[in-house]
């Protein structure tokens, strides 16, 4: 199912296909669904794709299970399709990210540095921005005038109006 293939088109160009999954090993309904997913221009769940490709979702799941038992993993194919979709759209996302970072948006700048690997996230503590409030000019307690060891024995009874 998975194969590493090297195809020579002509003497000057080479196309390298790594870890590709062929649809010919799957059942016809799965091939139909696979072709639909390969030609689709937006990501969809398996259920949505089945509805749009005209294949029943329940039977598709059963065929996927049978294919897996034979050693052909359709979910691996789905992962490859989604990975290729993400890589195809990465250029557009990077373009928008760079535009946002240049315009001065803090979130875009942070994402940009994360994307290029220059921002290390972690439990770091920046002491320059650390603010700790301390009450230095406090109020002395009223009974500080009393000598140590003296106990107040007179009860405080509030006055009634």
Domains of the chain by residue range: 25-115
pLDDT value at residue 6: 40
What pLDDT, on the 0 to 100 scale, is given for residue 1?
42
Vertex 43 angle, CA 65 and 58, to 5°: 30
| pLDDT at residue 125, as a whole number | 57
pLDDT of residue 47: 93
Q: Could you tell me the mean pLDDT of each successive run of 10 residues in the chain, 161 residues long?
A: 40 46 85 88 87 92 93 87 80 80 80 77 61 59 64 71 69
pLDDT of residue 63: 94
pTM (predicted TM-score): 0.48
Which pLDDT value is given to residue 64?
93
What pLDDT shows up at residue 38? 84
How far apart (Å, rounded) are the C-alpha atoms in residues 137 and 5? 77
Position 110 scores a pLDDT of 82
Evaluate whether 98 touches 112 at the Cβ level (below 8 Å). yes
* 35 Cβ contact list (under 8 Å, min separation 6): 23
Tokens standing for residue 150: 């003296």
Distances (CA, A) of 102 to 31, 105, 110, 115, 120: 45, 8, 11, 15, 20
Distance CA 128, CA 26 (A): 61
């Amino acid at each position: 199912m998975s194969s590493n293939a090297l195809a020579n088109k002509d003497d000057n160009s080479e196309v390298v296909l790594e870890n590709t999954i062929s649809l010919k090993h799957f059942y016809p309904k799965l091939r139909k669904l696979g072709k639909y997913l390969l030609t689709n221009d937006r990501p969809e769940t398996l259920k949505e794709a089945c509805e749009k490709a005209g294949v029943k979702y329940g039977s598709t799941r059963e065929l996927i299970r049978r294919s897996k038992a034979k050693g052909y993993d359709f979910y691996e194919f789905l992962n490859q399709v989604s990975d290729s979709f993400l890589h195809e759209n990465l250029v557009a996302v990077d373009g928008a990210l760079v535009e946002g970072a240049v315009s001065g948006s803090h979130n875009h700048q942070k994402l940009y540095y994360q994307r290029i690997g220059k921002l290390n996230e972690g439990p770091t503590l920046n002491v320059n921005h650390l603010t700790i409030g301390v009450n230095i000019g406090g109020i002395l307690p009223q009974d500080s005038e009393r000598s140590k060891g003296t106990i107040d024995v007179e009860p405080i009874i509030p006055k009634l109006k």
